[in-house]
Structure 1
Amino acid sequence: MDISAMIPELLSALPLTLAIMFVALLAGFCLALVATTFRVRRVPVISQLADLYVSYARSVPVVLQLFVAFYGLPVLAGLFGVPDFLSATAASMLGLSLYHGGYLSEVMRPAYLAVDRGQHDAADSLGYSFRQKIFRVVGPQTIHIALPGYGNSLIYMIHNVALVMYIGAADVMATAHLIMERDYNQYQFQTYLVLAVIYSAMCLIVWLAVRFFERRSSMYVPNAAPIKTTLMASA
């Protein structure tokens, strides 16, 4: 099989790969937002549980988290009489969401804490509600600080999606292995080369998108170190 015949077959599995990735990114972002909120505000018991979740997500290898989601949760559900309802695709989304949420929380929390305390005090002195303070003052600065780390987490997610083949999800990597097995491993180099181009293209798109939003940020200063901004009285 030449490369021209291989590429369409690999690309046919790309929608599933992207679907797993986007669901995990969205669900992981929501989990990270909730976990970060409780970790920053230090709500008794709940904050400790959030810390425990983040520690699990960051300490356990991603492939093991996928195994826990695919093999462990059905066993746990069976103890309560619930039948196995997780497909390989759903387990992939769940496992990667838990991983991404914990990792991203450790991007959001330092970014929030890096905003100068004077910004909070200035917003309070102007009579802003907590919601107004977050959306108008603290949030934009937090987003600017967190963008590089968030970009890295997106790239890590693209890399880790390739692991879902180990629990049977038919993503691009799994399709590539099926192609190689079908052709008796005659075209391993060509197959891996095409895979490298596909994953590199996805990472490049993410990097360009993050770079675009960094430049669109009101705090962006070309060829300069990040600077602290002050809240204007007219904000």
Structure 2
Amino acid sequence: MITQEQLFAILEGTKTTLTIASVSIIGGILLGIVIALFKISRNPVLHGVSWFYVWVFRGTPMLMQLFVFYYALPIFTQDVFNITLRLPGLTAPFLAFTLNSAAYLSEIIRGAIQSIDKGQMEAAKALGMSYYQAMFKIIIPQSYRRLIPPVGNELITLIKDTSLVASISMFDLLRTVTSMNNASGKWHYFIYAAVIYLILTSLIQVVFDRLEKKYSVYE
């Protein structure tokens, strides 16, 4: 039902899907931590910047953000700077998915941090720690357990949302099987994609469930 060439194409599409999701979740977590710290900061400028960032990226469609980096950016740079800046390879989806994911993850991280008893911060400061020392050595480590389920859900969402790159002519898993369907008129290629998506999301669920159980002993 499937040739070796088609199998390799599907595997290559799966690799693209996993690459985008992996880079985006890692970048999203790192940037999300920074934005979350800005959001809970008493500095009004940092708080305002983080609020605006989250407001923009959570309030606009993921597809539109992808189009901005892939289609609008070259036009904008040509109009303003007279230089056409076109992002190479997977850079546009990396940026779009990372920035979008960071907006959601920052709120998840902020909620987890603020759920830790305030006495922990006061005790750390009493020991002579700075705000950021206390945050990274005491508060954030205690929030790991509470971050695991929502971060797992965000990764599952990213895996599925990567299918949007088909709209900018990139061959992820879904676009690959769609092309096979269009060329052959056979629907069963979508079954292969569905099975792969289910396997990937199920593996993520199992891994994060085990992580949650492992860290729950510290609660």
**TM-score higher than 0.5 here?**
yes
Which residue is 2:17 aligned to?
Answer: 17
Q: Would you say how many aligned residue pairs link Structure 1 and Structure 2?
A: 217
5+ unaligned residues in a row in structure 2: which ranges?
A: none
1:58 and 2:58 matched: yes
Q: How does 1:143-162 map to 2 (within 5 A)?
A: 143-162=144-163
Partner of 1:95: 96
Distance of 2:75 and 2:137 partners within structure 1? 46
Partner secondary structure for residue 12 of structure 1? helix
Matching residue of 2:26: 26
Q: Distance in 2 between matches of 1:134 and 1:93?
A: 28
Identity fraction in percent: 29
Displacement of 1:40: 0.9
Return closer, same or farther for 1:68/1:155 CA change in 2, 3 Å cut-off. Answer: same
How far did residue 42 of structure 1 move?
3.5
Deviates more, 1:78-87 or 1:62-71: 78-87
CA distance, structure 2, for counterparts of residue 220 and residue 61 of structure 1: 39
Q: TM-score, normalised by structure 2?
A: 0.90
Give yes or no for contact 1:7–1:194 (8 Å, CA) kept in 2: no
- Confirm whether residue 199 of structure 1 aligns to residue 200 of structure 2: no
Identify which of 200, 206, 209 aligns with 1:208.
206
Q: Which residue of 2 aligns with 1:69?
A: 69
Residue aligning to 2:110: 109
CA contact (8 A) 1:70 1:88 kept: no
- In structure 2, the CA distance between the partners of 1:166 and 1:88, relative to structure 1 (3 Å rule), is farther
Question: Whole-Å Cα distance in 1 between the matches of residues 33 and 77 of structure 2?
Answer: 27
Which residue type is aligned with residue 197 of structure 1? V
Please tell me whether the aligned partners of residues 75 and 84 of structure 2 are also in contact (alpha carbons under 8 angstroms): no
Please state how far the C-alpha of 1:216 moved relative to its aligned partner.
2.2
- Aligned-residue offset at 1:51: 0.9
**What are the superposed Cα offsets for residues 3-42 of structure 1, whole Å, 9 maximum, x if unpaired?**
4654443112222222222222222222212211111113
Q: CA RMSD in A?
A: 1.9
Structure 1 range deviating more: 121-130 or 11-20: 121-130
Q: How far 1:105 sits from its partner (Å)?
A: 0.8
AA aligned opposite 1:107? I
Whether the 8 Å contact between 1:31 and 1:101 is mirrored in structure 2 is yes
Task: Report the Cα distance in structure 2 between the residues aligned to 1:85 and 1:8, rounded to whole angstroms.
Answer: 29
Deviation, structure 1 residue 96: 0.8
Equivalent position of 2:39 in the other structure: 39
Q: Which moved more, 1:170-179 or 1:44-53?
A: 44-53
Native 8 Å contact 2:21 2:155 kept in 1: no
Unaligned runs of 5+ in 1: 222-226, 228-235
CA distance in 2, matches of 1:46, 1:163: 32
Give matches, 1:129-148, under 5 Å. Answer: 129-148=130-149
Structure 1 position 88, deviation (Å):
5.7
